[in-house]
Amino acid sequence: MKLSVIMPTYNRVEYLKRAIDSVFNQTWKEGDIELVIVDDASTDATQEYVLSLENTNIKYVKNLENRGGAESRNIGFKYSSGNYIAFIDSDVIWYRNKLERQMPVVISNPDKIIYCQYRKQKKRSWTTQPSFVKNGYIFDDLLYQNFVDTPSVIMKREFFIKIDGFDKELPRFQDWDLFLRLSREHEFLCIKELLYDSLTLSNSISADHIARLRALTIIFKKNENYIISNKTLLERFIVKLVNANLICDKFENCCLIINEFNISSTKKIILNILIKIFYFLPKGFYKLLYGLK
């Protein structure tokens, strides 16, 4: 039995030691672990550091140009050889018992996707994520809100092959899209236990609001027929899209979205009032408020 752990990284050499050590310091000893590190054209000392480790269980791949996290994970998968696939980011630290707690559940539930809870850094505090868990066929729940984190998941290799991996065209939310596609075919099962820490770094793509808007729009289009058939999901997504457009000061787009879809008149009135209020306030004011939440 072999587990392949895929790690994309870009200019994060100062975080690599903790992340790499957390993979190889696991208390799980019932199988082999390989770590595939995909260096996404880093310009720091990432290559020198990884090669200096001389660890035969590490495969190092360097992209000649920056490909992004999604495509780098797909590239890492192509170099992997494990029966099972897991993911870790360079700003994530697995607890020593992560695989000991997770792998037996994976093996005893061969048709399911197994995920877990984790600690997420938020400024100077930590929160438990996800704050709620869902098991079984969770497609509807995931459309309402993404609550599965990429480093929390372990799956059989063939599951990843069947859905053709991450969508590299998405500028953000590649994990959400991946799990939506997986959840159409497979049940999910959560281990309700904190099994790793996830840091929040200042140069994270999560701060890119234009990318967020583009990604939300793509995911909506991919699942549009299903979303518009469910009024609750539709209204939830409309609010998400309006919020994303307001952050980017795209007020005209907000009005078009509200008028295009059949949502409740009460919801339309509330959203239209919100748009008008922020239209007359200084540019970027809504984005500032959003950043304070």
* Position 27 in a domain: yes
Cα separation, 221 vs 215, in Å, equals: 10
Examine the pLDDT at 123 and tell me if it is beyond 90. Answer: no
pLDDT at position 203 is: 54
Looking at the fold, whether 234 and 253 belong to one and the same domain comes out as yes
Q: Would the pLDDT of 281 be above 90?
A: no
Residue 263, pLDDT score: 85
H helices of the chain, where?
A: 13-24, 46-52, 69-79, 98-108, 139-144, 157-162, 174-183, 209-222, 224-228, 231-247, 251-260, 265-279, 285-292
Same domain, 9 and 154: yes
Out of 169, 198, 227, a domain closes at 198
CATH number at residue 70: 3.90.550.10
Is the pLDDT reported for residue 205 higher than 50?
Answer: no
Q: How many domains does the chain have?
A: 2
Q: Are residues 34 and 124 both part of a single domain?
A: yes
**High-pLDDT (> 70) share of the chain, %:** 97
Q: Are residues 186 and 257 in the same domain?
A: no
Expressed as residue numbers, the domain containing 221 is: 208-292
Q: Which of 170, 198, 226 is the last residue of a domain?
A: 198
Residue where a domain terminates, one of 198, 216, 235: 198
In a domain, 203, yes or no: no
Q: pTM (2 decimals)?
A: 0.91
Largest CA distance in the chain: 64
* Half-sphere exposure at residue 112, Cβ-oriented, CA atoms within 13 angstroms: 21
If pLDDT is split at 50, 70 and 90, which confidence band does 79 have?
very high
Q: So what's the pLDDT on residue 282?
A: 84
- Which DSSP state fits 90? T
Indicate if 67 and 157 belong to the same structural domain: yes
Share of the chain above pLDDT 90, in %: 80
